Structure 1
């Protein structure tokens, strides 16, 4: 089965390469990867990592999200209308006292990865919190606006709608500046996320480094530990994608130090931080840096301890576990991890590039009929 017949980020590499008129040898040389690795990625014998993907994208003058491909855009007219009216006060909400609970419900849906319900509710909630913030001018009201834009960024990033993600973080930063220091820290974390999603890892690290300096000088107590923890998790991911061992270790150590001061997972402005969140990021970063045994050991310890994380973190744990299992040749373990990711969050698994890529490679490698793999392949449109 050729790579272009099945969905998944790696399948797009050959398509894009041919569109720009490059041979495998020429692209591999430009990207600094081996021809053998590129060939295996294109035919589905190796999974495309985001680090290699970023190098290939730069070599073709693309962003990472352009190389990975995005999910089809939903009807975003109502949401775009609400975003455009950020600076235009409208009718105040009838029941403003309900706005915090409405935003809490949005975040609950986000943490449960109910993407379609999040999109359905976003326009109305965004209009109400924005109008209320204009009416009162209160920092807490603008904090709610920043929180809703954080949800928009998350939804857009999941689908790789990067123009929407970048617009959301711009508005998020503007609202956060009128809110409180933690809202500004979360906005910086999401801003760095747009760099992460586009493959500009060094640019994202620059955003994080600047935000860390700001957090260290402006936050105290639990807010300081939470804010710095959130930033170091994002820094860990970015440094890992760059394969900068020294910077990665710095962010990992700092994140664990902050997590030690927060014994249970803590949530502020739609963001969560604590020991379990730190472990999930260590698993992902270890996979990015080909430290697959470490990823497996960390994941095993986290799972054995009994995860209390929401679905938006549980599913990536199993996806990243699957990445390392596949790299170590454990196809049965990879299939089991994929199934658990789907069980935890079917809507995320249906659009997440790691889920799609693992399924593509598993289909390419599997030479015999397998009912379990067939079910997963059918969900993402792959014919065995």
Structure 2
């Protein structure tokens, strides 16, 4: 476990607590981070070091990326990348798990729900720190349990694999991501829930994005739509809409404007029938569809980019949407603004994405590309832009 030296870390914590978050007392920070008040006081005075787990908890409570508090200011997600081999090892043993204890089903369910929340909130370091052991425990429970509980454990495995996949995919570990998707496809039928299988089809699209195989990806989603349950109740309606929403984006990547428009229209129609919420691990509703309109416009490029700017001029993602989705909106918008010659607006959008979900923003390849472009376009060196570019490792 890494322990960061006290030099500088405590001062930065005190600064963000008292200046950036001026209403936060040491007691409030301690409570929010689940750290002893005395520990917070000693860290801020420089009387003790801080472990990576404690630093992450404090950063989360302050609403900042952990790297802003570190003394060495090294790569923010080094810990994420270092933890990926542990995920690889545990999924390699999906059919031959090691012996060990397993918690009751209700405890495993709560742990998986927490991991889903972390995924939606782009808390990738928390996921990689917890998921290897959780997946191993779920795998043991699945192979040891009675047939009566096996279907629910299979569903929990799908959700756990999906949380792990979010980190792998966003971190660029595409082979690991593909393996996790295949494990989702293995476990989903065991759960006996057609909607869960449909949600896996949604996630599987990542493999087509990674391979730039957009036309086959669109066919796979259309096949999933044909197989999905009839949209009679909100979960079924939301799942249909979710698949159409995803299909619109991959159609946009394929530069098939007609197909993208058709799927967006279908997604809007289904979104109007449900309230915005998280269905089978995916946010869906009118606001999510609007965000995907921006994504489709950027994917189509050329004469479609103006649509993204129009949406952004009239609407902003509400705060109750998952952080990863909101940050994605600003990342897509920044690209549209950059292509439209609005360099300053693009930088503001990238900063907004960072404030919402720093780990998601830092790992997004478009952020690095656009930050590097902005840095080249600036006639005068901007300290803020330089700091941002260095933060996201833009070259």
TM-score of the two chains, using structure 2 as the length reference: 0.75
Match of 1:251 among 257, 263, 274: 263
Which deviates further from its counterpart, 335-344 or 258-267? 258-267
- Which stretches in structure 1 are left out of the alignment for 5+ residues? 1-70
Q: Give the match for residue 146 of structure 2.
A: 136
In structure 1, C-alpha distance between the alignment counterparts of 2:319 and 2:88, rounded to whole Å: 36
Which 4+ runs in 1 deviate beyond 6 A?
none
* 1:201-229 deviation line (CA, Å, top 9, x unaligned): 11111110110000145x64222212111
SS in 2 for 1:74: helix
- 1:235-250 mapped onto 2 (5 Å cutoff): 235-250=247-262
Contact kept in structure 1, 2:181 and 2:203, CA below 8 Å: yes
Q: 1:220 to 1:141 in 2, by over 3 A?
A: farther
In structure 2, C-alpha distance between the alignment counterparts of 1:356 and 1:240, rounded to whole Å: 22
Match of 2:94 among 83, 86, 102: 86
Once the two structures are TM-superposed, the CA of residue 156 in structure 1 deviates from its matched residue by 1.2
Match of 1:356 among 348, 368, 378: 368
- Which stretches in structure 2 are left out of the alignment for 5+ residues? 1-77
Contact kept in structure 1, 2:189 and 2:197, CA below 8 Å: yes
In structure 1, C-alpha distance between the alignment counterparts of 2:362 and 2:152, rounded to whole Å: 35
Mapped pair 1:214 → 2:227? yes
Once the two structures are TM-superposed, the CA of residue 165 in structure 1 deviates from its matched residue by 0.8
Mapped pair 1:277 → 2:281? no
Once the two structures are TM-superposed, the CA of residue 382 in structure 1 deviates from its matched residue by 4.9
In structure 2, C-alpha distance between the alignment counterparts of 1:260 and 1:92, rounded to whole Å: 46
Once the two structures are TM-superposed, the CA of residue 308 in structure 1 deviates from its matched residue by 2.0
Q: Give the match for residue 202 of structure 1.
A: 215
Match of 1:341 among 349, 353, 377: 353
Aligned residues: 311
Q: Give the match for residue 173 of structure 2.
A: 161
Q: Give the match for residue 196 of structure 2.
A: 183
Q: Give the match for residue 297 of structure 2.
A: 286
Once the two structures are TM-superposed, the CA of residue 249 in structure 1 deviates from its matched residue by 0.9
In structure 2, C-alpha distance between the alignment counterparts of 1:366 and 1:355, rounded to whole Å: 16
Mapped pair 1:325 → 2:333? no
Q: Give the match for residue 41 of structure 1.
A: none
Which deviates further from its counterpart, 326-335 or 306-315? 306-315
Match of 2:134 among 125, 147, 152: 125
Contact kept in structure 2, 1:107 and 1:151, CA below 8 Å: yes
In structure 2, C-alpha distance between the alignment counterparts of 1:136 and 1:366, rounded to whole Å: 63
If you compute each CA radius of gyration, which structure gives the higher value, 1 or 2? Answer: 2
Q: Give the match for residue 115 of structure 1.
A: 124
In structure 2, C-alpha distance between the alignment counterparts of 1:345 and 1:168, rounded to whole Å: 23
Which deviates further from its counterpart, 321-330 or 306-315? 306-315
In structure 1, C-alpha distance between the alignment counterparts of 2:248 and 2:133, rounded to whole Å: 35
Q: Give the match for residue 108 of structure 2.
A: 99
Which deviates further from its counterpart, 90-99 or 345-354? 90-99
Contact kept in structure 2, 1:265 and 1:276, CA below 8 Å: no
Q: Give the match for residue 31 of structure 2.
A: none
SS in 1 for 2:387: helix
Once the two structures are TM-superposed, the CA of residue 133 in structure 1 deviates from its matched residue by 2.2
Contact kept in structure 1, 2:235 and 2:279, CA below 8 Å: no
Contact kept in structure 2, 1:276 and 1:302, CA below 8 Å: no
In structure 1, C-alpha distance between the alignment counterparts of 2:245 and 2:289, rounded to whole Å: 7
